Structure 1
Amino acid sequence: MTPEFGPSELWEPATRRDPYAFYTRVRAAGRPIPQLDPAGDRWWVVARHADVREGLQHPDLGHQLPGQPPPPDEAGRIAARQLISLDPPDHTRLRGLVSHAFTARTAARLEPWITEVADRLVARARFLGSFDGVADLADPLPVNVIAQLVGVPEDDRPMFRSWSATIVSGSDFDGSATLAFAAYLDDLAALRRKEPADDLLSGLVDLDRDDLVATVQLLLIAGQETTVDVVVNAIRLLLTHPEQWRDLRDDPSLAGAVVEETLRFRGPVEIVPPRFALRDLGLAGGVIPAGERVALSIWGANRDPEVFADPDVFDVHRADAHRHLAFGHGIHFCLGAALGRLEARIMLDRVARDLGTLRLVADPGDAFRLHQGGLPLTV
């Protein structure tokens, strides 16, 4: 029997409490499922691993419709020029300018410094006894790493963290956080033009102004939010699966496997930024009309039983976790994947070694989102 779907079911409270059940039904339907978002726009939801992987690299799925005018407002223009919103050749050009700073080799060179920062954070958490897993443990590490790479002065980093949190939470309705960020970056870029430094910003200052702001903004946001999400959710999952937490404490070298299973089981991205069908598109057993949005569900793909054994079980020993699509696929594969993996692995290794008595004060549950609150912990 073909599953039935409400017209806006994806956004209903019951689905938000358990989105994985929705994606199970989408996979079973064997076709793209149309859903109307709160603005009344139609999205075609795709959730099988094979179909999502195909969609992520499909030449007829793009971020920009031909002839689409740029947004008239400054904040909208900046958002539209981010790498995740661009197609080739602009995407190829801009990604090429920053990719050298995010190679596995570059990440490896940063490992001693990242380890030093993680050690300080873990030592402080142990001293506090009771602390917030977000604000006191997971958050400061990626904030400082990405800001260091870009070239944001240490004293200014709390401002960047605030702007990032506002933008990611979806509460930047008037674009004020984006505009404040842009104004600050204008000044910092002007300084780098006069006095170049050994940082990423110094190599980008000749870009068009909107491209410069958009590129740096995305790097700072993506470099912070996704890694924080992985670390916090890994800690929550470990502490709610005591046998897995014990295994990591007994063997901290499992930290890398914990990162991969967390990315699969509860990664930071539910649906990739919507793509448009550039022409009538055959995908996932159906035809998506030209010009309409396609929602490729990473969460749906990463719980596909055709790929992952017992996909709804969190298991840090699974052999197939590496097949997840949490970092995407194709030309938009996450630029900071190597760095994010390194940061999360180091932090979880240090937590396992030095916070062995860690426990949850309260479990926020699977619907937990970073911008909705913290993760209360105690040792």
Structure 2
Amino acid sequence: MTGTGEGPLNETRLDTAGTPPSATAGPGTGPIPLPVDRPGLLDLPADFRLLRSDLPVAPLAFPDGPPGWLVTRYDDVRAGLADPRLSSRRPHLNSHVRASLITSEEMTALRPSDLLTSDPPEHTRLRRLVTGQFTARRINQLAPRIQAIVDEHCDALASGPRPADLITALALPVPSLVISELLGVPFADRALYQRLTAELLSLERTREQLLDSKAEMKAYLLGLVQARRTAPADDLLSGLVQAQSTGTPLTDDEIAALAQLILIAGHETTANVTGLAVFHLLRPPRLWDALQQRPDLIDGVIEETLRIATVLQFGLLRVAAEPLTIAGRPIRAGDRVVLHLPAANQDPARFADAGRFDPERLNAGRHLSFGHGPHHCPGDQLARVELRILLTTMLRRFPDLRLAGDPQNIRAHRTRVVHGLVELPVDFTP
């Protein structure tokens, strides 16, 4: 489960109308729209460089409702993630990039508070129920099974047609199978939940389509909850159902909401980080060959990919529960504040030559891609183990792995909450 910081799901629509004013605008100018246009596949919108230096807490235009604030410097974003005055409880998610499609009442009916949209003590209660599944001991126990899953899919890739799409052949099915087994979701249902995940993360759904997708996902997960109640297994869903039976205050709707967040974060984001990591290594100057000689740099590759290619591409939304000051800017109670993780992760004040992919960067692990503070992603170690096993095995099995085509023609998702590649065509000598 990577790059989420318990990151957001889809509940609003991308607003692409209008041209953003220059980020050099001074404090007296009007709010700017969130910069979203990337000059290159792996580049951040150019405005963020200017915002960090000239307007680190910028007035931000929202597609609906009053303006809020955009925070782009590393130190301010990190402090904001841990500040209890910035609440995760809000009626809508991601309204800084899309106009709201769902009412508060509809949202409550479709998904109650979860790890994403709650504050302590409610957040503490829910988090305690799932963190036991993501301990270092539990992850180490899973490692042999993860390796077996990776080997099986590498075998299929090696014997299949070439060129192949690494996303559909390896990057997506491996974390899908891992989180399916951990959570208790049948892998045979992967076409269903992968489709629903794509629909929920899309910024192009109509109100009716979005409501239908949310209702279908909820009904599916509630069915699994009931199945685990009658036939428990060694998985997280069964553990949550068992907690219910021992008196823990937990509703079926809350279990389904937790399961949805874990399922989506556990396969979608890890798949995208895998694809982005391999793309970084295969494009010129082809670091894949250097990594063959320096396998000790694999952990550095993972952390640097998480840093420079932050998959939660639009940042995290918070609401000020009380007045506070960020970088000298007064924030009023009720103001919406966007903590922009990708901009923070490329802050040159924290990371020298921040736009360069450097597997030997000593402080790459200080990135904020898993969040920080109470909402730090509990699945960060699972993601790292999956990525380490995936990369290590691919380096061994496919030493001459190469891009099949011009890297300039590889496309990224432009209208999805999670940044990643549409496909990654590769070739190799069998």
Q: CA deviation at 1:323?
A: 1.2
Q: Verify: 1:307 aligned to 2:360, yes or no.
A: no
Percentage identity across aligned positions?
A: 38
Q: Verify: 1:339 aligned to 2:382, yes or no.
A: yes
Matches within 5 A, 1:256-267: 256-267=299-310
Please state which structure has a larger fraction of its residues in helix: 1
Deviations 1:284-308 (A, max 9, x none): 2311222111111111111111111
d(CA) in 1 for partners of 2:306, 2:33: 25
Q: TM-score, normalised by structure 1?
A: 0.91
Compare 329-338 and 208-217 and name the one that shifted more. Answer: 208-217
Aligned residue pairs, count: 375
SS in 2 for 1:317: coil
Q: Verify: 1:136 aligned to 2:180, yes or no.
A: no
The match for 2:220 is 184
Q: Verify: 1:254 aligned to 2:297, yes or no.
A: yes
Quick one: which of 370, 374, 379 aligns to 2:423?
Answer: 374
Which amino acid in 1 is paired with 2:212? Answer: S
Write out the 4+ residue segments of structure 1 that deviate beyond 6 Å after TM superposition: 14-17
d(CA) in 2 for partners of 1:60, 1:323: 23
Does structure 1 conserve the Cα–Cα contact (< 8 Å) formed by 2:228 and 2:237? yes
Q: Verify: 1:33 aligned to 2:65, yes or no.
A: no
Matches within 5 A, 1:194-213: 194-205=230-241, 206=244, 207-213=250-256
d(CA) in 1 for partners of 2:186, 2:84: 40
d(CA) in 2 for partners of 1:280, 1:99: 32
Quick one: which of 371, 383, 398 aligns to 1:328?
Answer: 371
d(CA) in 1 for partners of 2:420, 2:359: 26
d(CA) in 2 for partners of 1:333, 1:27: 23
Q: TM-score, normalised by structure 2?
A: 0.81
Which amino acid in 2 is paired with 1:327? Answer: F
SS in 2 for 1:242: coil
Matches within 5 A, 1:229-244: 229-244=272-287
SS in 2 for 1:85: coil
Deviations 1:95-120 (A, max 9, x none): 10010001122111111111111112
Does structure 1 conserve the Cα–Cα contact (< 8 Å) formed by 2:317 and 2:339? yes
Q: CA deviation at 1:236?
A: 0.8
Does structure 2 conserve the Cα–Cα contact (< 8 Å) formed by 1:275 and 1:293? yes
d(CA) in 2 for partners of 1:183, 1:213: 9
Does structure 1 conserve the Cα–Cα contact (< 8 Å) formed by 2:282 and 2:288? yes
d(CA) in 2 for partners of 1:263, 1:368: 16
Compare 123-132 and 165-174 and name the one that shifted more. Answer: 165-174
Quick one: which of 94, 98, 104 aligns to 2:126?
Answer: 94
Which amino acid in 1 is paired with 2:87? Answer: G
Coordinate RMSD, CA, aligned? 2.5
SS in 2 for 1:216: helix
Q: Verify: 1:116 aligned to 2:152, yes or no.
A: no
Q: Verify: 1:356 aligned to 2:388, yes or no.
A: no
The match for 2:191 is 158
d(CA) in 2 for partners of 1:104, 1:213: 25
The match for 2:265 is 222
SS in 1 for 2:225: helix
Cα distance change, pair 108–76 in 1 and its aligned pair in 2 (3 A)? same
Matches within 5 A, 1:248-287: 248-287=291-330
The match for 1:45 is 70
Quick one: which of 47, 53, 59 aligns to 2:84?
Answer: 59
Q: Verify: 1:298 aligned to 2:298, yes or no.
A: no
SS in 1 for 2:158: helix
d(CA) in 1 for partners of 2:45, 2:353: 13
Cα distance change, pair 165–362 in 1 and its aligned pair in 2 (3 A)? farther
Q: Structure 1: which 5+ residue stretches go unaligned?
A: none
d(CA) in 1 for partners of 2:322, 2:117: 18
The match for 2:180 is 147
Deviations 1:28-86 (A, max 9, x none): 125410121333542311111111110000121002269xxx8211x554445231111
Q: CA deviation at 1:184?
A: 1.6
Does structure 2 conserve the Cα–Cα contact (< 8 Å) formed by 1:78 and 1:213? no
Which amino acid in 1 is paired with 2:238? Answer: S
Q: CA deviation at 1:366?
A: 9.0
d(CA) in 2 for partners of 1:367, 1:34: 31
Q: Structure 2: which 5+ residue stretches go unaligned?
A: 1-22, 92-102, 245-249, 414-418
SS in 1 for 2:116: helix
Does structure 2 conserve the Cα–Cα contact (< 8 Å) formed by 1:65 and 1:278? no
Q: CA deviation at 1:339?
A: 0.3
